[in-house]
Chain A
Amino acid sequence: MPNLRTFALPDAGEGLTDAEIVRWLVAVGDEVQINQPVVEIETAKSLVELPCPYDGVVHDLCASEGDVIPVGAPILVVDSQEEVCVAEPQADGSQAPRPLVGYGPSVLRHSTSVSAASGLANASQLRVPQPILAKPPVRQFAKDLGIDLATVRATGPGGIVTREDVTAAQESQAPRQLATYPSDDQPWLDGGTVSSDGRHTRVPIRSVRRRTAEAMVTSAFTAPHVSVFHTIDVTAMMALVDDLRQDKEFADVRVTPLLVVAKALLLAVQRHPEINATWDDEAQEIVYKHYVNLGIAVATDRGLVVPNIKDAHRMKLHELAVSLGDLTRTARQGKTRPDQVSDGTITITNVGAFAIDTGTPILNPGEAAILAFGSIRKQPWVHKNKVRPRWVTQLALSFDHRLVDGGLGSTVLSDVTRVMANPAQALVWG
């Protein structure tokens, strides 16, 4: 007889109501010991590992990575070999122990409706044996498919299991296998489940992807975006990049065209500080920033991250190069800290890295402008009245039209391109 003990999600901060399951550190069938870290959760306050309260064997993980679980809901069931004389608190809402602090979860009362994928319903049915209600044809249907009705979530009136419930259970249970393995070359499928016909894979939306989506939706549907474009000859800038690469003072850093673009944007912001601002809708105010936290969009294995260089406006070119290198390296290693992605004021997205000419970027929420920097290619160009092969690139600037007018946006983009076309301009403005 298994001795099942449930670990309910604790309130890891003071008064939190839910947390996201970031990563399971154990799997069903694993032996676990008291205080062994079993899961990583992310709350509104921090990322923490939860230690297991029981010795035994993992019987069930009641939630998937990416699920947001209310405090007090079961997350893990351990089959503990020891005899228990004290009755363990049950996992159904009625007898669950109240969280020690805060108000506890508001959704706990109807927790069976939280999420079918989380296995919550399964977990509670394990411990609350009740007669299963289903019509004979549905029972036969389930039997034909080899589905145990006890594992099906009932949605019919009065808790009756319907034919659709059985179908849903089949889809969620039968293909319960990882689509890929860590060594696979399709990391985007990691953690997904393949449909029974093998024609699609459902992957839960997780932390970075979810946050990117939320930020993009918020930004795209609150700030009216306008984009302006400019194509320019950057042959002089490429010569400067070559010179800097030879320069002893820059021997310890990687000099790239992005460095010059960053400097050009900082100079443009210095000349037009009103672009470096936030629309605060709630307060009905525009917040002008007297500092530049320069965001750089970085593509990583885990998704898009936009860390920013704090107080970039104060930096000399070398210091800026060091910060750029650190920031991209940290992001690619997945070690970007939360404070590095907060409080950005203006952003560059280097779409040229993908050999793309340009795009219409979506603003990082809370910022008024974002600069897209395209690929630099040798192209025929009219230079001194003759067609010559020259280094040419295209830039796009998207801006929030609530606080930036076309005139300002265009002037800023034009200033950036002036420095890029003729870096000596920086001497005049710097």
Chain B
Amino acid sequence: MVDMGGSQPVGTAGAVDLPETALQFLSPDGQVRSAGPYSPYVESLTTDDLRSLYRDMVLTRKFDAEATALQRQGELGLWVPSIGQEAAQVGSAHGLKPQDFAFPGYRDHGVLASRGVDLVQTFAHTRGVDHGGWDPREHNCHLYTLVVGAQTLHATGYAIGIVKDHACATGDPTKDEAVIVYFGDGATSEGDLNEALVFAGVNQAPLVFFCQNNQYAISEPTSRQSRVPLFHRGAGFGIPGVQVDGNDVLACYAVTAAALDAARAGMGPTFIEAFTYRLGAHTTSDDPTRYRDSHDAESWKALDPIARLRLYLTLSDHADQNFFDEVDVEGAALAARAREAVRKLEAPPLDSFFDLAYNEPHPLVAEEHAEWTAFETARLELMGAGR
């Protein structure tokens, strides 16, 4: 159980100007305060829930650091660091139920960790052996989408499918399904997201648009992309918007869980803006010091999402040093396993190209598959004869 102190929904901290509209439960000094109607969601979090949030954030960060190093050692073609955004990703994804479906962008390692996807599987595409890396149906978590904002359309289609299948608003919240889609501030300037908002709005799709505003679309600051705060964007499409302190894992959890509940109950989509900051580069291919003041990164470090939750867990006796040590050991083991696994990654068999193209049998694909199998069999026989 989480005890609330006084009621101060407004967040201000350090040298960073957090917008006054951003909902905050957990302040950087480790104190939890009430934030109006969302409070029940935070109050109902158990010790195990809180520890699980902490664990997923730490594992995500350790893995991310290892992956960044592996790219610098030539083992990965590219890496997209998530450092600094763990609270937004892990907090929101913990609001999902097993039957829900998540559509991540390409930086959302914390979402994968929370959905139970083995993070090592993300290397399949950053090492260039596969276009995907995991079976989306296994954990109800779609593949990373590299085309900025395109996943918002995929998610909208999926969510409209839920409406057509009558799989939401049935009156049974344990069966109702909802969808969440992740994207960044840069995607809000894309046509795809705006189209997705149109269709999700008019169809009242059970979809949560989760925008991680990390302040930069590669090198373009948010101020050069929008005249209004991003969470106002939904209003024109008839979609309510909420802004949340993206470095506060409790607020991200509560607001997303509430929005997903509303979606499952048939109340349509919500647009959430998590106000956060990417502490690393956009990808390992760019140099943020060329477009960003390094002082900014320093002041954002004071708002670190992991340090904040750790402080709260300690102050409120939800966890002690033993627990933190255990998680650190687990993180180091994950990093070691990632290092070990990356070189052993193999391309999937070519059969999977044919098998995974369509959900149902397709005559043209079946014909091409048969042709290829015949060719491959003959080739292998020839090679055997050559020896």
Q: Which residues of A contact B (CB under 8 A)?
A: 7-14, 34-35, 45-53, 97, 99-101, 337-339
Q: C-beta contact mask, B42-81 vs A, less than 8 Å → 1, else 0?
A: 0000000000000000000000001001011111111000
**Listed A/B pairs (30) with beta-carbon separation below 8 Å:** A7-B73, A10-B71, A12-B71, A12-B72, A12-B284, A12-B285, A13-B284, A13-B285, A14-B77, A34-B339, A35-B69, A45-B286, A46-B281, A46-B286, A46-B287, A46-B289, A48-B287, A51-B72, A51-B73, A52-B73, A97-B74, A99-B74, A100-B74, A100-B75, A100-B76, A101-B77, A101-B78, A101-B128, A337-B289, A339-B290
What B residues does A13 contact at CB under 8 A?
Answer: 284-286
Would you call B109 an interface residue if the criterion is a C-beta within 8 Å of the partner chain's C-beta atoms? no
Closest 4 CB pairs of A and B: A10-B74, A46-B287, A100-B77, A101-B77
Would you call B264 an interface residue if the criterion is a C-beta within 8 Å of the partner chain's C-beta atoms? no
- Shortest B137–chain A CB gap in Å is 29
Measured CB to CB, the nearest residue on chain B to A100 is B77
Would you call B127 an interface residue if the criterion is a C-beta within 8 Å of the partner chain's C-beta atoms? yes
Is the CB–CB distance between A337 and B290 below 8 Å?
yes
Measured CB to CB, the nearest residue on chain A to B65 is A35
Known contacts A46-B290, A101-B128, A14 near B285 by CB under 8 Å: yes
Which residue of A7, A35, A49, A99 contacts B66 across the interface (Cβ within 8 Å)?
A: A35
**Chain B CB within 10 A, most for which of A7, A11, A35:** A35
**Chain A CB within 10 A, most for which of B66, B71, B291:** B71
Measured CB to CB, the nearest residue on chain A to B288 is A46
Which residue of A9, A11, A51 contacts B69 across the interface (Cβ within 8 Å)?
A: A51
Report the bound CA distance from A45 to B219 in whole Å.
13
- Shortest B103–chain A CB gap in Å is 25
Report the bound CA distance from A50 to B127 in whole Å.
18
What A residues does B128 contact at CB under 8 A?
Answer: 100-101
What A residues does B285 contact at CB under 8 A?
Answer: 12-14, 45
What B residues does A8 contact at CB under 8 A?
Answer: 74
What B residues does A35 contact at CB under 8 A?
Answer: 66, 69
- Shortest B345–chain A CB gap in Å is 11
Report the bound CA distance from A338 to B287 in whole Å.
11
Report the bound CA distance from A101 to B127 in whole Å.
9
- Inter-chain contact count A-B, CB under 8 Å? 60
- Shortest B278–chain A CB gap in Å is 16
Report the bound CA distance from A353 to B125 in whole Å.
57
Chief secondary structure at chain A's binding surface: loop
Report the bound CA distance from A51 to B66 in whole Å.
10
Is the CB–CB distance between A47 and B66 below 8 Å?
no
What B residues does A101 contact at CB under 8 A?
Answer: 77-78, 128
Is the CB–CB distance between A338 and B290 below 8 Å?
yes
Report the bound CA distance from A8 to B74 in whole Å.
8
Report the bound CA distance from A283 to B354 in whole Å.
50
Report the bound CA distance from A216 to B72 in whole Å.
34
Report the bound CA distance from A9 to B73 in whole Å.
8
What B residues does A34 contact at CB under 8 A?
Answer: 339
- Shortest B294–chain A CB gap in Å is 9
Which residue of B72, B75, B291, B339 contacts A48 across the interface (Cβ within 8 Å)?
A: B72
**Chain A CB within 10 A, most for which of B73, B77, B78:** B73
- Shortest B266–chain A CB gap in Å is 45
- Shortest A337–chain B CB gap in Å is 6
Is the CB–CB distance between A14 and B74 below 8 Å?
no
What A residues does B69 contact at CB under 8 A?
Answer: 35, 51
| Given A10-B72, A11-B74, A100-B74, 4 further pairs, Cβ under 8 A | A9-B74, A12-B71, A48-B287, A100-B128
Q: C-beta contact mask, B8-23 vs A, less than 8 Å → 1, else 0?
A: 0000000000000000
Report the bound CA distance from A14 to B69 in whole Å.
15
Report the bound CA distance from A10 to B284 in whole Å.
12
Measured CB to CB, the nearest residue on chain B to A46 is B287
What B residues does A339 contact at CB under 8 A?
Answer: 290-291
- Shortest B272–chain A CB gap in Å is 32
Measured CB to CB, the nearest residue on chain A to B78 is A14
Which chain B residues numbered 107 to 130 have a C-beta less than 8 Å away from chain A? 127-128
What B residues does A51 contact at CB under 8 A?
Answer: 69, 72-73
Report the bound CA distance from A271 to B291 in whole Å.
33
What A residues does B281 contact at CB under 8 A?
Answer: 46
Report the bound CA distance from A51 to B76 in whole Å.
14
What A residues does B291 contact at CB under 8 A?
Answer: 339
Measured CB to CB, the nearest residue on chain A to B281 is A46
What A residues does B339 contact at CB under 8 A?
Answer: 34
Report the bound CA distance from A11 to B71 in whole Å.
8
What B residues does A45 contact at CB under 8 A?
Answer: 285-287
Report the bound CA distance from A272 to B23 in whole Å.
55
